[in-house]
Amino acid sequence: QRTVRLPDDRVLWTFQDAFIGGRMVHNAAMVQSGRCFTMLGRADRSWLLAGRTDRFERWHWILGGEVGVHGNAVHLFVVEMTETGDRYLERPRPTAMRRVVVNLDSLKAVKMVLLDPTGLHLYGWSVTSNNRFTYLYSHCYRQFGCPTLFGFAPCSESVKVARVPRGKLWAARQYWNGSEWVRGYRNAVPVVDGSFAFSGNNPAQIRFDGSRFVLIEKRDDWWGSTVEFGVSKSPHGPFRHVASIPEPAKGGDECNTYFASWVPWTVRPGVSIWGLSHNTWDGTGSIGDIRVYRPTFHVIGV
């Protein structure tokens, strides 16, 4: 689950691989107004890029997003995934990145832009803004089927960052090279790596809370057992590790957790709400009891 707060205080929720009426779709969305939720699109197909989807073979997962500078659209980064193995999620690989523009009045996609490749790194995995810039954090999203101990690729430990003027998601990007912002993604260096929480997979979600950049991640994602937190005064770090808590799993050894993310509210200043995804190791238990699959939400002071 990922969230984008809209200018009128509604919240756009997006989901990957969601079950709607017993059928799994590769992406789904709801808009929240107060305590009311309205599902977007149709229940029998993915919300975005359904016409380009071959179920379980080629699909699209929604990553981060931000409201554009004009305030009338939200820009969502969407990764195209292709299964290169014999069964679903055996060896999926990112094959394209798009920016999808969703009109805030109709909540329908009105534009789709195929983005230039940026090597292994998918900028837009996490998106946040301060008063001057919008920051696009990367992750290579090669989490399964790699010839390593836990199946994720070595690039999974590196988080890099680009920036554009606030809300101008179409603008030319600058990348942090370790000392300054420059053009050219090949000059980018990690702002989070394996030294943060000693994690070999850093699917970090980073949010500007008004004064600091706060980081959350599930250590080693599927394979770890703790949720890690960091803070930095700067968008490019260094991120100081401030908390590590045991994963709040739902069940026994057959259950696991993954993908920790921020929710765009605070209980009070310094106390944030975060969500965590749940599943069973082989996925079959979640299909049998969908309550296992639903995310949970928690609070922490950082």
Digit-coded pLDDT (tens) for 111-153:
999 999 999 999 999 999 999 999 999 999 999 999 999 999 9
d(CA 15, CA 48) in angstroms, rounded, equals 11
Which pLDDT value is given to residue 260? 98
What span, in angstroms and rounded, lies between the C-alpha atoms of 48 and 286? Answer: 24
Q: Are 163 and 134 in contact (CB under 8 A)?
A: yes
Q: What is the pLDDT of residue 139?
A: 98
Strand locations in the chain (E): 2-5, 11-20, 23-33, 36-39, 58-67, 73-83, 92-103, 109-114, 122-129, 133-139, 161-165, 174-176, 181-182, 205-208, 213-218, 226-232, 240-246, 255-268, 271-280, 296-301
Write down the residue that tokens 């709607």 correspond to: 20
Distance from C-alpha of 183 to C-alpha of 177, rounded to nearest angstrom: 9
Residue 54 tokens read as 């071959």
Task: Give the end-to-end CA distance of the chain in Å, rounded to a whole number.
Answer: 21
Average pLDDT for residues 210-214, to the nearest whole number?
A: 95
User: Please, how many CA atoms are within 13 Å of residue 161, restricted to the half-sphere of its CB?
Assistant: 27
Residue 96 has φ and ψ, to the nearest 5°, of -165, 155
pLDDT at 253: 86
Judge whether 64 and 136 are in contact, CB under 8 Å.
yes
Distance CA 283, CA 87 (A): 13
The pLDDT tens digits for 71-109 are 999 999 999 999 999 999 999 999 999 999 999 999 999
Taking CA 204 as the corner, what is the angle to CA 280 and CA 28, rounded to the nearest 5 degrees?
55
How many Å apart are CA 109 and CA 73, to the nearest integer?
9
Which tens digit of pLDDT belongs to each residue from 228-279?
999 999 999 999 999 999 999 998 889 999 999 999 888 888 899 999 999 9
Q: How confident is the model at residue 287 (pLDDT cuts 50, 70, 90)?
A: confident
What is the strand order of the sheet 11-20 is part of?
2-5, 11-20, 23-33, 36-39
- Distinct helix (H) and strand (E) counts, the chain: 1, 20
- CA dihedral 231→156→165→31, nearest 10 degrees, is -80
Q: How far apart are CA 299 and CA 266, in angstroms?
A: 9
What is the C-alpha separation between 198 and 233, in angstroms, rounded?
Answer: 21
Between strands 240-246 and 205-208, the pairing is unpaired
